[in-house]
A and B are shown apart, each in its own frame.
Chain A
Amino acid sequence: MAKIELQKVEKKFGELHAVKPMDLTINDGEFVVLLGPSGCGKTTTLRMISGLETVTGGKILLDGRDVTWLHPSERDIAFVFQFYALYPHISARDNIAFPLRAQGESRHAVEQRVKEVSALLRIEHLLDQRPGKLSGGDQQRIALARALVRKPAAFLMDEPLGALDADLRETMRAEIKRLHIDQHATTVYVTHDQIEAMAMGDRIVVMSEALVQQIGPPAEVYYDPANLFVAKFIGSPGMNLVSAVYQDGVARIPGTENRCRVPAEWQPAVQSALQGEPEIILGFRPEAAHLEPSGELSGEVYATELQGAYAVLHVNVNTSEIVHIRTDRLIDYAIGETVRFSIDPKMVRFFNPKTELAISRQRSS
């Protein structure tokens, strides 16, 4: 098992950056998720770590060893592809044994390892079939077995669950997570699904437009997004972002009577970050807003969505800005009805509209 370090790693196609210089250290045994919309450079980053793509700048270290220019086969890394990439012309057993054969292991040792790994993934009954005959989930299990069989220094997974059905995806998510806990293997996992990222990652690297936006544990990325992109991208629906004007400890939504008190712990930070400009962006998660008759903010119900255990209310807080509020599924709200709500002061965040960055408060504790 190994520690992976990226130092100013970048990838350019001509003048275009696929990945802008990024620094990232992945600790031994850590599960790091690269998260971002398609085309953000997350897969390119993964492929650079594997050696399938060359870097155009920077260094990649594996346990301190510089592997930047090593052939993929010399890096001791396993790769799991979105579409499994199981060799279609040989049986599942031969697929799993394939990496070991490259190392010239004895027949007996290969058999032993294949048996161990297939027991671990509970795929012993599938070993004699061709990959094409198997379901997507089983194919991905075999691909995982092929990655595991060699005991590589690190696992790289490129949207391994992307091609699976929704319910199977949840099962496999748990299986991979479990496998990671058992094997304690350094894993880099690429996905565009933020729910997957939150559920699986020890740390999440949020990327957008070839740039790393934020690196942090799931809770941090969720509750303290570094910028507007991360705030919107994480969560479904994402964080509510409302433009407001700040004055004397109160954020006012222009054109309405809506005012929101800025908690005292935030005031100095907001004051200094804005540098005299009044515009600010108010951010809060749907579950941070509570509907109550005495709430300080009001808006008109625009639409309601039943999500099962709860409902999401779309509320128009001024003429154009709609916020999402999580409510009790048993209470009905009529469209056009005016509702009042307040925001949990612990859950409110502020952003600078110029820099799009989050304003960080002084930690009081």
Chain B
Amino acid sequence: MAEFAKTGPSKPVVEAIRVDKVTPGYRLVNNVRALIVILLAVVGLIPVFVMIMTAFKTRPDAISVPPKLIFTPSLEGLVFLLTERSAASPARLEQLRQAAEGEQLSLFDRIALNTGQEITGPSDYVFRLRNSLIIAGLSTIASVVLAVFSAYAFSRYNVKGKGDLLFFILSTRMLPAVVVTVPLFLMYTQLKLHDTHLGMIILYTVFNLSLAVWLMKGFFDEIPREYEEAALVDGYTRMQAFFKIVLPQAVTGIAATTVFCLIFAWNEYAFALMLTSEKARTAPPSIATMLGIGGIEWTAIAAGSLGFLIPVVIVTFALRNYLLRGVTFGAVRK
């Protein structure tokens, strides 16, 4: 350490940094810290890796002990996930094998055949994933659009009882979902909203609105009023100024809000479990119920979870720059 003060660092320092941050001691501590963070991240990601691997294993590989790290990838899990199958009789099996040799069977049929089964139709999962897409997508759009307008009003106008209203909006988020599911269930059955897409969209929109309004208000507060005022004296109406000037600058906030709303609506489990049964059931509760039916299909569950993960990962990844700014907003100087 004393040596360092005389000789300086062994390598030239190219980044702008304080002197005390290039001493060997500090560097060492920093490296250890980084290592710990990486280790924690790896530990945290192990379940995800296991899930991805399991999704591409065959059934014997998936349940083998010790778990196989190296295996031949297979689409068995995917086939199990997406189809209904039944065990075929020996005669039928022989018939199918011949068809397979003659290249008359599709990929899915052949994979099913390897496990001694025959595909009888698509599984529920496909419909449920579609339900998830419809419900999460529409409720996200609805909550973001509503939030943009109300947050703008809260940010710019002297709304009567503004503080109370904002608190009331936030308070809808304070109750845990389990507490309100029972009354909601009763209301929904009365209103015939139980197990409907509309019912779920309304519910998720209401739940997301509190977060979305507060988030968007923060973003609008950050946009200086001068921009709108400039547009007003330049000959535009309030509405035109909003669409031409304010909205383009709020894109970051809108993107961040969209991701947060989408993640909530997509992942929501408790309401979906209680308030849907057949028609409008979304993916999260259906993956969980797969555990129950006729032995545990680990490969199918893993494939289902993976398929469920992908849309959110894509959206989040596409909007990641906005998201970072959204999470740190207020802390970053304009």
- Chain A residues proximal to chain B, CB less than 8 Å: 50-52, 71-73, 75, 77-79, 81, 83, 85-89, 98-99, 102-103, 146, 150
B residues near A89, Cβ cutoff 8 Å: 248-249
A-B contact pairs, 28 of them (CB 8 A): A50-B233, A51-B233, A52-B229, A52-B232, A52-B233, A71-B232, A72-B232, A72-B233, A73-B232, A73-B233, A73-B234, A73-B235, A78-B233, A78-B234, A79-B229, A81-B229, A85-B227, A85-B229, A86-B230, A98-B231, A98-B234, A99-B234, A99-B235, A102-B234, A102-B236, A146-B230, A146-B234, A150-B235
- Which one of B224, B235, B236, B240 has the highest number of Cβ atoms from chain A below 10 Å of its Cβ? B235
- Which one of B230, B232, B245 has the highest number of Cβ atoms from chain A below 10 Å of its Cβ? B230
Asked if A73 and B237 sit within 8 Å, CB to CB, the answer is yes
B residues near A51, Cβ cutoff 8 Å: 232-233
Does chain A have a CB within 8 A of B226? yes
Q: How far is the CB of B160 from chain A (nearest CB, A)?
A: 16
Q: How far is the CB of B43 from chain A (nearest CB, A)?
A: 42
A residues near B231, Cβ cutoff 8 Å: 87, 98
B200-222 interface with A by 8 A CB criterion: none
B residues near A83, Cβ cutoff 8 Å: 224, 226
Q: Which 6 A-B pairs have the closest CB atoms?
A: A102-B235, A85-B226, A99-B234, A85-B230, A72-B232, A79-B233
B residues near A77, Cβ cutoff 8 Å: 233
CB-based A-B contact count at 8 angstroms = 55
B residues near A99, Cβ cutoff 8 Å: 234-235
Q: How far is the CB of A155 from chain B (nearest CB, A)?
A: 11
Q: How far is the CB of B59 from chain A (nearest CB, A)?
A: 55
Chain B residue with minimal CB distance to A98? B234
A residues near B232, Cβ cutoff 8 Å: 51-52, 71-73
A residues near B235, Cβ cutoff 8 Å: 73, 99, 102-103, 150
Instruction: Kindly state the separation between the CA atoms of A194 and B230 in the bound complex, as whole angstroms.
Output: 26
A residues near B227, Cβ cutoff 8 Å: 85, 87
Instruction: Kindly state the separation between the CA atoms of A164 and B75 in the bound complex, as whole angstroms.
Output: 66
Instruction: Kindly state the separation between the CA atoms of A83 and B226 in the bound complex, as whole angstroms.
Output: 8
- Which one of A52, A146, A150 has the highest number of Cβ atoms from chain B below 10 Å of its Cβ? A52
B residues near A79, Cβ cutoff 8 Å: 229-230, 233
- Which one of B229, B230, B233, B248 has the highest number of Cβ atoms from chain A below 10 Å of its Cβ? B233
- Which one of A50, A75, A89 has the highest number of Cβ atoms from chain B below 10 Å of its Cβ? A89
Q: How far is the CB of A228 from chain B (nearest CB, A)?
A: 35
Instruction: Kindly state the separation between the CA atoms of A87 and B224 in the bound complex, as whole angstroms.
Output: 11
Instruction: Kindly state the separation between the CA atoms of A146 and B229 in the bound complex, as whole angstroms.
Output: 13
- A51-B232, A86-B230 known; 19 other A-B pairs, CB under 8 Å? A52-B229, A73-B232, A73-B234, A73-B235, A73-B236, A77-B233, A79-B230, A81-B230, A83-B226, A85-B226, A85-B227, A87-B231, A88-B249, A89-B248, A98-B231, A98-B234, A102-B240, A146-B234, A150-B234
A residues near B240, Cβ cutoff 8 Å: 102
Q: How far is the CB of B248 from chain A (nearest CB, A)?
A: 5
Chain B residue with minimal CB distance to A77? B233
Q: How far is the CB of A93 from chain B (nearest CB, A)?
A: 15
A residues near B233, Cβ cutoff 8 Å: 50-52, 72-73, 75, 77-79
A residues near B224, Cβ cutoff 8 Å: 83, 85
A residues near B236, Cβ cutoff 8 Å: 73, 102
Chain A residue with minimal CB distance to B251? A89
B residues near A78, Cβ cutoff 8 Å: 233-234
Chain B residue with minimal CB distance to A50? B233
Instruction: Kindly state the separation between the CA atoms of A71 and B234 in the bound complex, as whole angstroms.
Output: 11
Q: How far is the CB of A154 from chain B (nearest CB, A)?
A: 11
B residues near A150, Cβ cutoff 8 Å: 234-235
Mask: chain B, 20-48; 1 = CB below 8 Å from A; 0 = not: 00000000000000000000000000000
- Which one of A75, A77, A87 has the highest number of Cβ atoms from chain B below 10 Å of its Cβ? A87
B residues near A102, Cβ cutoff 8 Å: 234-236, 240
A residues near B248, Cβ cutoff 8 Å: 89
Q: How far is the CB of B254 from chain A (nearest CB, A)?
A: 13
A residues near B249, Cβ cutoff 8 Å: 88-89
Chain A residue with minimal CB distance to B249? A89
Chain A residue with minimal CB distance to B248? A89
Instruction: Kindly state the separation between the CA atoms of A99 and B231 in the bound complex, as whole angstroms.
Output: 8
Q: How far is the CB of A209 from chain B (nearest CB, A)?
A: 25
Q: How far is the CB of A316 from chain B (nearest CB, A)?
A: 46
Q: How far is the CB of A197 from chain B (nearest CB, A)?
A: 23
B227-260 interface with A by 8 A CB criterion: 227, 229-237, 240, 245, 248-249
Q: How far is the CB of A135 from chain B (nearest CB, A)?
A: 17
Q: How far is the CB of B20 from chain A (nearest CB, A)?
A: 33
Instruction: Kindly state the separation between the CA atoms of A260 and B249 in the bound complex, as whole angstroms.
Output: 65
